[in-house]
Amino acid sequence: MPSEPVTRAARSGYHHGDLANALLEEGLQLTRHGGPDAVTVREVARRVGVAPTAVYRHFADRDALVAAIALRIQQQVADRMRTVEDARAGGAETPSARARLRAVGLGYVGFALAEPGWFDVAFGSATALPSDVDPASLPAPLATLVEVLDDLVAEGDLPAAAREGAEWPCWSTVHGFALLALRGPLRALPRDLLWHHAQQAVDTIIDGLLAPR
């Protein structure tokens, strides 16, 4: 059985000192449609054009490689959340924190629906964080959410007393909806109806969070 053609990265090689980035880029390509199970040290090395032993100079094992890929994807999720947020601005006027909260929530769900393989790598695996990542640091999507919630307090829409822990029901809502849409009873719905329900879910949690107390 003929082997799969090598990728562009493998054919053109990589810049000296940038092997780690080349490995991560190939890992991203593998996981985009195959999820975390598509990553093996041997296959990533083959696609880059190096021996498998070269991978271990940058990543302790396969789990460390997958964890580093997951961090890259989480940053992409946060970037999409911010892109959706910016698109809601409607020009020069700065959107309210409430509008931004809605935008980041829908951006999270939108990423899951558009990139289910990557979403599974970023949030569906139990892979530990790389050893050089600060354990106290927040995943990029959560950091984006926290920033918007803090802005709600600053703008007077959310009482300071209600701020503590508010990120968890918000994140649970969009993450739970994404899982229901990808693997649960919502997966057979037409995309326009699915998106309507996503908006309902996000609006409901925001209305509950900001309801007068």
Give residue 150's domain range. 13-210
Judge whether 7 lies within some domain: no
Judge whether 33 lies within some domain: yes
Judge whether 106 lies within some domain: yes
pLDDT of amino acid 116: 94
pTM for this prediction: 0.82
Judge whether 4 lies within some domain: no
CATH number (domain holding residue 82): 1.10.357.10
- At 54-98, the pLDDT tens digits run 999 999 999 999 999 999 999 999 988 887 665 555 554 678 899
Judge whether 53 lies within some domain: yes
C-alpha to C-alpha distance for 167 and 142, rounded to whole angstroms: 8
Q: How many helices (H) and strands (E) does the chain have?
A: 10, 0
Q: What is the DSSP string of 136-154?
A: TSPPHHHHHHHHHHHHHHH
- At 112-141, the pLDDT tens digits run 999 999 999 998 765 555 556 565 678 899
Judge whether 3 lies within some domain: no
Burial class (CB in 10 A: 0-12, 13-18, 19+), 131: exposed
Total domain count, the chain: 1
